[in-house]
Amino acid sequence: LTTVNLTAEPNDSLQNLDGVVVNNALILSEDGNNNVLRIDLSTYQVSLFKNLSHIESWIGHITYSNGYYYVCGPRSIYRFTESSNATEVARLPVGNIVGIVVVNDRAYATVNFNGSIYEVNLQNGNYTVFAEGLDYPYDLETTAAETLPAASGVDPMLYVAVAVAVIAAAAIFFLR
């Protein structure tokens, strides 16, 4: 167990911090100033991974799929690579995006203010409501599609639905 300081002084600017492990690095969604950080998991050195100061809002959740990083603002999903700038992929009708997973060419974004999960086409930014009526969801997780058995015949969306059900059941259990 190692402690890594992300800022020189403790502050409350990292309230939406999220991370994803890619290769041997932990990529953190921001440092409070719209800088994506990289922590080398061998040396625990912190470095600037991507400056996203052109995004005019806080950055929350982050995920990685097929060479692309996806980060979320309150209503927008952005995509970038290690060598490209972040561009807006989609803007949802309501916020607060609090979770994102990517399966193939679709993103699934959890919005807690309206209790919904949106399915977003990453090619054109179109979106539809995938699930609604959730009680203030906090996050979204799934099994990566590339880790599913090829011959299983199971639709990857089943895994997203199961993840939503597990999160909802855990919330109900702990709120009893």
Q: Which alpha helices (H) appear in the chain, and where do they start and end?
A: 156-175
Answer for the pair 60, 13: CB distance below 8 angstroms, yes or no.
no
CA 63 to mean position of chain CA atoms = 4
Task: State residue 112's pLDDT score.
Answer: 87
Task: Read off the tokens for 6.
Answer: 């992300």
According to DSSP, the β-strands at 25-28 and 35-40 are antiparallel
Task: Read off the tokens for 131.
Answer: 């699930």
Walk along the chain (176 residues) in steps of 10 and give the mean pLDDT of each run: 75 75 92 90 93 90 94 95 95 91 91 90 95 82 54 49 49 48
Task: State residue 107's pLDDT score.
Answer: 94
Task: State residue 165's pLDDT score.
Answer: 47
